[in-house]
Amino acid sequence: MLELLFLLLPVAAAYGWFYGRNSLRQEELKGKANVAKNLSSGLNFLLTDQEDKAIEQLLQLLDIEAATIDTYLALANLFRRRGDWDKAIRIHEKLHQLKLPKLQAQQIQLELANDYYSAGLYDRAEILLTALVGTDAFREKALKQLFSLFIATHDWHKAAIFGPEVDKTDSKSLRIAISNMRCQDEKRPLDAFSLRLLTQQYPQSIRPKMQLAQLLLQQQQLDDAAVAFKAVLAQKPQWSAEVLPGLIQCQLPAQEWYQLLSQLAHKQKNVTATMYLADWLVQTGSPAAGEQLLLEKLQQQPNIRLFQRVLQLRQITEPEHRAALHSVEQLVNAYLETKILFSCRNCGFKTRQTYWLCPSCQQWETVEPLSGIDGR
Q: For Zn ion, which residue of 358, 364, 369, 375 counts as binding (CB under 5 A)?
A: 358
Query: What is the closest distance, in whole angstroms, from the C-beta atom of residue 131 to Zn ion in the complex?
Result: 30
340 binds Zn ion (CB under 5 A): no
Q: How many residues bind Zn ion (CB under 5 A)?
A: 7
Q: Which stretch binds Zn ion (CB under 5 A): 14-22, 198-206, 304-312, 355-363?
A: 355-363
Q: How, if at all, do strands 350-351 and 342-344 pair?
A: antiparallel
Residue 169: closest CA among 182, 178, 156, 180: 178
370 binds Zn ion (CB under 5 A): no
Q: For Zn ion, which residue of 117, 349, 356, 364 counts as binding (CB under 5 A)?
A: 349
Site for Zn ion in 88-127 (CB under 5 A): none
The smaller minimum CB distance to Zn ion, of residues 138 and 364, is found at 364
Query: What is the closest distance, in whole angstroms, from the C-beta atom of residue 359 to Zn ion in the complex?
Result: 8
Query: What is the closest distance, in whole angstroms, from the C-beta atom of residue 344 to Zn ion in the complex?
Result: 3
Q: For Zn ion, which residue of 344, 356, 369, 376 counts as binding (CB under 5 A)?
A: 344
Q: Which stretch binds Zn ion (CB under 5 A): 121-129, 214-222, 296-304, 348-356?
A: 348-356
Q: For Zn ion, which residue of 64, 347, 357, 370 counts as binding (CB under 5 A)?
A: 347
The smaller minimum CB distance to Zn ion, of residues 177 and 344, is found at 344
CA torsion sign for 249, 284, 369, 196 is negative
Q: Which stretch binds Zn ion (CB under 5 A): 29-37, 110-118, 216-224, 337-345?
A: 337-345
For residue 281, what are the contacts with CB-CB under 8 A and spacing of at least 6?
A: 287, 289, 290, 293
364 binds Zn ion (CB under 5 A): no
Q: 3-class DSSP state for residue 244?
A: helix
For residue 67, what are the contacts with CB-CB under 8 A and spacing of at least 6?
A: none
Helices then strands (H, E): number in the chain?
Answer: 19, 3
Residue 132: closest CA among 110, 108, 116: 110
Q: Which stretch binds Zn ion (CB under 5 A): 26-34, 107-115, 154-162, 340-348?
A: 340-348
156 binds Zn ion (CB under 5 A): no
Centre a 10 Å sphere on the Cβ of residue 198 and count the other Cβ atoms it contains.
Answer: 22
DSSP state at residue 372: S
Q: For Zn ion, which residue of 8, 14, 254, 361 counts as binding (CB under 5 A)?
A: 361
DSSP letter string over 286-352? Answer: -HHHHHHHHHHHHHHS--HHHHHHHHHHHHHH-GGGHHHHHHHHHHHHHHHTTS--EEETTT--EES
CA torsion sign for 68, 74, 80, 84 is negative
148 binds Zn ion (CB under 5 A): no
Residues binding Zn ion (CB under 5 A): 344, 346-347, 349, 358, 360-361
